[in-house]
Amino acid sequence: MPSNPPLVIGHRGAPGYFPEHSRASYERALAVGVDAVEPDVVFTADGVAVVRHENEIGSTTDVADHPEFRDRRTTKLVDGGPLTGWFTEDFTWEELATLRCRERLPQLRPQSAEHDGEQPILRLRDLLDLVDAAETRRVGVVLEVKHATYFGSIGFDVAELLAAELRGAGWDTGVRPLIVESFEQGILRELRDRGIRGRFVYLLEAEGSAYDLTAAQGEGAPTYAQQLSPAGLDRLAREVDGISLDKRIVLEDPSVVARAHERGLDVFVWTCRPENLFLDPKFRRAGADADLGDWQGEWRRIAETGVDGVFVDHPDLGVAVFSGHSGSPR
């Protein structure tokens, strides 16, 4: 284990135990000692930043059980692909506040699904205030901006909405530990240009290309693999503070971490989950997808690469494996 262990980040709170992005999920993550929590942010029709993994909420709320919203179900083109369901931008905040959170993977995580219907959706401001109230130490927020190009295409000024939200909550000055991340670099530049102080981190998947680049450049858009080449990392080092990688990338090529560090980039990895379904095949064990595999082995392999932060669904397990964490964000 490296002498400077990675930050442990509660991915959507603690969704191994409670429905993702619910207050109980974040409270569990804070209680077990994470260094930071990670909310995903999308928007309502009236411009309120809400904490949801996607703008489509059919699988993570009880919206389908509300007859008054039945006619809101529709199909949209989001990030270049068709998606059917209910979308946050078709609801006001007052309407969304009537919904309750549900477990997205109930067959895989029945313990979490036992809490379906208990808690309402959170606004970003609710989450920031919750983190502020953590009494024992400073806890960071890793704010992921979702679908910025899509929301921009339908008239939302995503950067200004988020900047206003962060200013209003006192999270814009750099006094509180803030990381902003996105799969789209453009929104990171815009937020920095608006004076938001924090670390800006670019998310990369194991395959494909970023949607904002594809929308602008078509087939000529660079792939994620090209962006992780020496020339690609040189460019990223001039534009962002760090990169956040699908764990497949790091497990297949651990040297990418050192190459990024040589250029002054922080490296984060997502997502560490203990169930067989999510583990690299080398670390799976006999049993069902929901059974726990050799998660300790996989996570230690990731830690040995020297990454700076890891996203975990079960924060207590993450704190146990990535032990010796700093207790406050670096």
Average pLDDT over residues 292-310: 97
| Angstrom distance (rounded) from CA 263 to CA 95 | 46
pTM: 0.95
Q: Tens digit of pLDDT for each residue in 68-96?
A: 999 999 999 999 999 999 999 999 999 99
How confident is the model at residue 329, as a pLDDT? Answer: 35
Contact partners, residue 239, CB within 8 Å, separation at least 6: 185, 189, 202
How confident is the model at residue 4, as a pLDDT? Answer: 82
| Angstrom distance (rounded) from CA 150 to CA 211 | 9
How confident is the model at residue 323, as a pLDDT? Answer: 72
Average pLDDT over residues 297-326: 91
Q: Tens digit of pLDDT for each residue in 257-298?
A: 999 999 999 999 999 999 999 999 999 999 999 999 999 999
Q: In the predicted model, is pLDDT for residue 328 greater than 80?
A: no
Report how far apart, in Å, the C-alpha atoms of 167 and of each of 49, 191, 196, 198, 247 are.
Answer: 13, 12, 8, 12, 33
Query: Could you give the domains of the chain?
Result: 7-321 (3.20.20.190)
How confident is the model at residue 326, as a pLDDT? Answer: 38
